[in-house]
Structure 1
């Protein structure tokens, strides 16, 4: 029986922590993170329909979330799938809990 690989918990710098806090301070980005977290991969195109956002607005928010490390964008041809970067999100939540 194979053991499940355990990854080291991510540690956030002060700068990373504050960048994530700023990114999640926008209600639309927080809603996007909630949707992506609830799925195991979501097509980017589904966001603008569900949240009634234009593709350009979704792109802007996804860029922000990707830059702070909360969301990973995996491209396949013309489509893009979104995944929550769970280790980064968990590190952020741990840091919040320790305040």
Structure 2
């Protein structure tokens, strides 16, 4: 099931809200560059393509999320600690909840 619409149906059936993030600027249309999945006021997934990085997209997404969520589940990978620092600094109203993959999938 790699189709975006099919995956959205699965999450929506479980009462998750799925947002697809598209990006374009005056130079290019980058298409689908990310996804945010939330349930109630908790963000379970925020992913963003490297094509969108450095174009201000991550800041806009965090601003948008700050108005909609209270908590963000965060999986430490060893290479995403800079992202964790950035989220904490830019969106102090969002509580980061450290999770392990066992917590999520187990």
State the TM-score, normalized to the length of structure 2: 0.27
Q: RCO (CA 8 Å, sep 6+): is it higher in 1 or 2?
A: 1
Q: Per residue, is there more strand in 1 or in 2?
A: 2
State the TM-score, normalized to the length of structure 1: 0.28
